[in-house]
Structure 1
């Protein structure tokens, strides 16, 4: 069908509702899976870190494959929509089973989680990649795509806040492994709602054919290798994704073992994510005045300072720790705004140099890098737990040694702060300015 310049409101909302699925799956495993493995199944921290990391790393390899398969899908409903329903339903079912391991030997329980998380990651790749590709096929209008993405980003932010804040509350209200089981089912229902809403909401959307870009990861990396500024931006963003992943994984441990306060996990998560809902326009306005790179540096420094202040968690009042995490959230908002605004600049410069738009290639590599960074974060945090002598358990109360409490605190605070500061070494060499981007072809 020929693409219409303006999409109906129902299509915009319907497409954006798919972010309920991506936001839920993108948040809950990073927040809840590592504590589930160490504190309910009694799996050692290093093994638990591997279980959390491996399926996400698998997604990095699988994403280009899922993209090529959906590119070649021929269906009257469009090449992407069938995958939304097929993979989305599979994601919801496997997610519900992920936190429902039956009582078995510890090794078998670990294998259950690994297999189910791999299944979740596979289903997610075949949902998320076609879902992200759909805007290029729904409309040819630059402004309409902006409106479409506005709905998606708004729903995504609200979902992350809602899912991340309620998941610990559901678990704690029931307690033990049954709490995790109920939480998994509730989150699976949320995923299913997003999947079916996106599928139904886009049923009347126009579709036109878009020529696919480079098909595999090697082709994509070859293109990126010729774009030094994009490469520097990507390395900065991936290192910071490791930091964010480590902090997200540490929320439950800091709340339960260090702060020891009921509901602290929910408060910490809201402090971390909440500012992104409020301060995104403020960071964008600052970037318009001082430049995107300078704004990115400023946001990174704010985040690092907040993380370092959180290192006082073992001795400071809980209110001060919450305030430090709010400061982290303020910086985190800017660290999401600026790189996402700088990505199309790098792609636009490439389009001027090469004579063709390859924004899809850049986005594919960017997504793979972000996935890898967010997967490494919990793994790195698990290594810190193991070095600190963290004691895993099967749900019973365990008194952690002082070294474990210190490891939790440092893994949540100093480690992410150092990673963020390290990332600025690459950002320092990023050289694109407004003058470089002006006059480039629209991508």
Structure 2
């Protein structure tokens, strides 16, 4: 079994720290940016988010196939961290740029820049994710790597969420018409940090495992890889789990800005001079996510990955549903904080396990088909993120529009719109948890099965070398 030093695990974590800073800002603030800062209507913004993320999801398998076939002195997947770090930052800045154009021009700009952003995100994040399959061949060690990844990811999310609103306010200044400028410069700061983190990830990591090559005359083909993927039952189940889990996260996170603006408000939300803002609420969740990641390894060693994931989803779903009954009072706001801590900690347990299970699925594919198609399989997890995020973000805006949500500055929302906000923070995310729990019950690659697969692959790789 291949082991790696602590510095490499930290370095690997820095990559998802960068990705998560962008992902959380785009998931939680971009719908609000497009509708309330950039100036798009709710319906236009909903279609934009859906179309661009669906394209991004479709592009993920293409990137996975490309990465699987890349050969360089740095490996198959790692060089993309070097090549795409600066384009990644530049695309993020362009997305949060507001040109002084008319409605049609703004719509074209929004589609162009967000499509570019999602394409570059795919080009760096799919190879980064696939690296988990080649940094070690030990299934338990992968869970450790994945835990470092998610710990730093939540740390990055906390940093981004804690900084973004203050940066927006700082750069907006006293000019009430300068909100667009404030959001742009806030993104410049975040983007510079993200580019640096990916370059550090490249510097500190290495690819240690060389997957078995296809010995078929003529080599591997895209068609064979896709047929093997289509026949991979555990992959289909994890794909559904990932989509459901991302629906849960993207709906809760994306609705929070609206929920706090129009339901919680800002008047003595926690009593006295203490105010519960959207940024503080989300940042508390990221800290709790990090605590959950720390628990993932000991819990999974005791209960197994599958059962740990199942119980964490059950807890997240039940407590998310409880949000519906919490009033917008001082006591209610403290209850929201308490629920956010437990829900987020439970959710934090699940994500390192999910990535580790995708690496196990790649080993299962290598044993069954003679090649792991690691990049293609990990691209499917990224694809699931995009599908979940796309439908989650679009669903938020469509539901708000159907409930009569008014985007006019200072507008008071009607009772139906408030009901919609409460549903978006409670029952709809809980439904995503329920679906994920049902699917993970059916997932067949438990601890004993993965030990058998690991032993057989070790023998095969030893013979081929």
Tell me the residue number matched to 1:406.
Answer: 419
SS in 2 for 1:18: helix
Matches of 1:14 and 1:122, distance apart in 2:
24
Shift of 1:114: 1.8
Aligned partners of 1:147 and 1:288: how far apart in 2? Answer: 11
Shift of 1:184: 1.3
Q: Match for residue 129 of structure 2?
A: 132
**In structure 2, distance between residues paired with 1:328 and 1:260:** 22
Q: Which runs of 5+ in 1 are unaligned?
A: none
Q: Are 2:29 and 1:32 aligned?
A: yes
Which residue is equivalent to 2:270?
none
Give the whole-Å Cα distance in 1 for the aligned partners of 2:134 and 2:201: 15
Give the Cα separation in 1 of the matches to 2:232 and 2:375. Answer: 15
Closer/same/farther in 2, CA of residues 430 and 193 from structure 1, 3 Å limit: closer
Residue of structure 1 equivalent to 2:350:
335
Q: Which residue of 1 aligns with 2:395?
A: 380
Residues of 1 paired with 2:72 and 2:365: CA distance?
Answer: 33
Note the C-alpha offset of 1:35: 0.3
- Among 79, 83, 86, the alignment partner of 2:83 is 86
Cα distance change, pair 432–266 in 1 and its aligned pair in 2 (3 A): same
Superimposed CA distance per residue, residues 129-154 of structure 1 (whole angstroms, 9 cap, x where no aligned partner) = 33334466667788987776565444
> Does the C-alpha gap of structure 1 residues 334 and 153 become closer, same or farther in structure 2, counting only changes over 3 Å?
closer
Structure 1 match to 2:257: 252
Q: How far did residue 328 of structure 1 move?
A: 1.7
* 2:92 equivalent to 1:95: yes
CA distance in 1, matches of 2:335, 2:78: 47
TM-aligned CA deviation for residue 29 of structure 1 = 0.5
Q: Against the structure 1 CA distance between its residues 321 and 27, is the aligned structure 2 distance closer, same or farther, given a 3 Å change threshold?
A: same
Which of 424, 430, 452 aligns to 1:417? It is: 430
Aligned equivalent of 1:321, options 336, 358, 361: 336
Q: CA deviation at 1:118?
A: 0.9
Superposition pairs of residues 156-305 of structure 1, within 5 angstroms: 156-175=153-172, 176-201=179-204, 216=222, 222-261=227-266, 264-305=277-318
Does 1:63 find its partner at 2:64?
A: no
Compute the displacement of 1:200 (Å): 4.7
Q: Does 1:45 align with 2:42?
A: yes
Query: Relative to structure 1, is the Cα distance of residues 343 and 149 closer, same or farther in structure 2, using a 3 angstrom cutoff?
Result: closer
Deviation at 1:20, TM superposition (A): 3.5
> Do the aligned partners of 1:78 and 1:207 also contact (CA within 8 Å) in 2?
no
Q: Which moved more, 1:144-153 or 1:411-420?
A: 144-153
Structure 2: unaligned runs, 5 residues or longer: 173-178, 215-219, 267-274, 458-465
Distance in 1 between the 2:207 and 2:375 partners? 20
Are positions 1:392 and 2:407 aligned together? yes
Mapped contact 2:147–2:294 kept (Cα < 8 A): no
Paired residues, what number? 435
Tell me the CA shift for residue 417 of structure 1: 0.9
Q: Deviations over 1:283-310 (max 9, x none)?
A: 4434444443333222112111221121
CA distance in 1, matches of 2:166, 2:85: 25
Give, in whole Å, the separation in 2 of the partners of 1:249 and 1:336.
19
Q: CA deviation at 1:172?
A: 3.9
How far the C-alpha of 1:351 sits from its partner, in A, is 4.6
Partner of 1:364: 379
Per-residue Cα deviation, 1:304-325 (whole angstroms, up to 9, x for no partner): 1221121134545211122222
- 2-structure distance, mates of 1:327, 1:154: 16
* Distance across 1 between alignment mates of 2:139 and 2:161: 32
Structure-1 separation of matches of 2:279 and 2:42? 23
Distance 1:414-1:145 versus aligned 2 partners, 3 A rule = closer
TM-score, scaled relative to structure 1: 0.85
**Aligned equivalents of 2:441 and 2:135: distance in 1?**
38
CA distance in structure 1 between the aligned counterparts of 2:49 and 2:278, rounded to whole angstroms: 19
Deviation at 1:10, TM superposition (A): 6.0
Aligned residues of 1:220 and 1:362 also touching (Cα < 8 A): no
CA distance in 2, matches of 1:72, 1:436: 29
Label 1:435 to 1:419 Cα distance change in 2 as closer, same or farther (>3 A).
same
Asked whether the equivalents of residues 130 and 379 of structure 2 are also in contact (C-alpha less than 8 Å), the reply is no
Secondary structure of 1:390 counterpart: coil
Structure-2 change in CA distance of 1:151 and 1:336 (3 Å): closer
Task: Using structure 2 for the length normalisation, give the TM-score.
Answer: 0.81
Contact 1:258 1:314 in 2 (8 A): no
